[in-house]
Amino acid sequence: MIGRLNHVAIAVPDLEAATATYRDTLGARVSQPQPEPDHGVTVVFIELPNTKIELLEALGDNSPINAFLERNPSGGIHHVCYEVEDILAARDRLVETGARVLGTGEPKIGAHGKPVLFLHPKDFNGTLVELEQV
């Protein structure tokens, strides 16, 4: 059901500093910061030859990454995003197995303009999973 690894997301306390580390220290190609108010984050994408890194900074008091950053003040790996061809079929199959889909259970439009869903980390070996329909 899952396809390619679309991105690995890293939550960071300071997006500008993290972007500079990837651009200047690691020599990576970085995007402009992209506010995503519907998701409570600002993102920068790091383009790698085989996948992307998504740097996440909290946007607003109710950001879903606020608690994570409180637990990990220096930042850390926050989620992995796998591509799926049919997100509703994937969701329904996962729910049948007992996996918990976060939020309303309906896909939202993600940073690439495509539908995304999140799956509870406790159901996936302690890793928050994002699905993106491609």
Ligand X SMILES: CC[C@@H](C(=O)O)C(=O)SCCNC(=O)CCNC(=O)[C@H](O)C(C)(C)COP(=O)(O)OP(=O)(O)OC[C@H]1O[C@@H](n2cnc3c(N)ncnc32)[C@H](O)[C@@H]1OP(=O)(O)O
When binding is defined by CB under 6 A, the residue of 18, 19, 79, 117 that contacts ligand X is 79
When binding is defined by CB under 6 A, the residue of 59, 80, 111, 117 that contacts ligand X is 111
CA dist 118 and 2 (Å) reads 13
Q: Which of the ranges 12-20, 21-29, 63-71, 89-97 carries the binding residues for ligand X, by CB under 6 A?
A: 63-71
Report which DSSP code applies to 31.
P
When binding is defined by CB under 6 A, the residue of 59, 110, 117, 131 that contacts ligand X is 110
Closest CB 105 distance from ligand X, rounded Å:
12
Burial readout 34-71 (b: 16 or more C-beta within 10 A, e: otherwise):
eeeeebbbbbbbbeeeeebbbbbbbbeeebbbeebbee
Q: Which does 67 bind (CB under 5 to 8 A by kind): ligand X, Co ion, none?
A: ligand X
**What is the bridge-based pairing of β-strands 5-11 and 34-36?**
unpaired
When binding is defined by CB under 6 A, the residue of 23, 28, 48, 121 that contacts ligand X is 121
Helix H or strand E segment including 125: none
Q: Does residue 119 touch Co ion according to CB under 5 A?
A: no
Determine whether 8 is exposed, middle or buried from the number of CB atoms within 10 Å of its CB (0-12, 13-18, 19+): middle
Q: For binding to ligand X (CB under 6 A), which residues are involved?
A: 9, 36, 39, 41, 43, 54, 56, 64-65, 67-68, 78-79, 81, 102, 110-111, 116, 118, 121-122, 126-128, 130
Catalytic residues: 130
